[in-house]
């Protein structure tokens, strides 16, 4: 299966691209808090070096139900 960069049009095999997973650690009162959203994998194009998502990074926002 081929993957196509939406920014420069490069088309290649999955193994030609770099995949990066971003995570953020939130700390409050010296304790790590769970992140409020799931982050999709960022795909880096080998030709232009730009990153793009295969799915929206905002599609799976999770809310803890806490307010204020």
Give the DSSP letter of residue 38. P
Cα separation, 32 vs 34, in Å, equals: 7
SS3 call for 56: coil
Task: For residue 50, give every residue at least 6 positions away whose Cβ sits within 8 Å of its Cβ, in sequence order, or none.
Answer: 5, 7, 8, 44
Per residue in 7-28, pLDDT (tens digit) is 999 999 999 999 998 888 889 8
For residue 50, CA distances in Å to 12, 14, 41 come to 15, 15, 14
Ordered alpha helix ranges (H), 1-68: none
Task: Kindly report the pTM of this predicted structure.
Answer: 0.69
For the segment 23-59, what is each residue's pLDDT rounded down to a tens digit? 888 898 999 988 777 788 999 999 999 999 988 877 6
């Amino acid at each position: 299966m081929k993957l196509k960069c939406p920014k420069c049009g490069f088309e290649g095999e999955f193994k030609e691209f770099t995949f990066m997973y971003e995570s953020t650690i939130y700390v409050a009162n010296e304790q790590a808090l769970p992140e409020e959203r799931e982050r999709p994998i960022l795909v880096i194009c080998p030709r232009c070096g730009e990153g793009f998502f295969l799915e929206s990074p905002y599609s799976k926002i999770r809310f803890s139900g806490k307010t204020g």
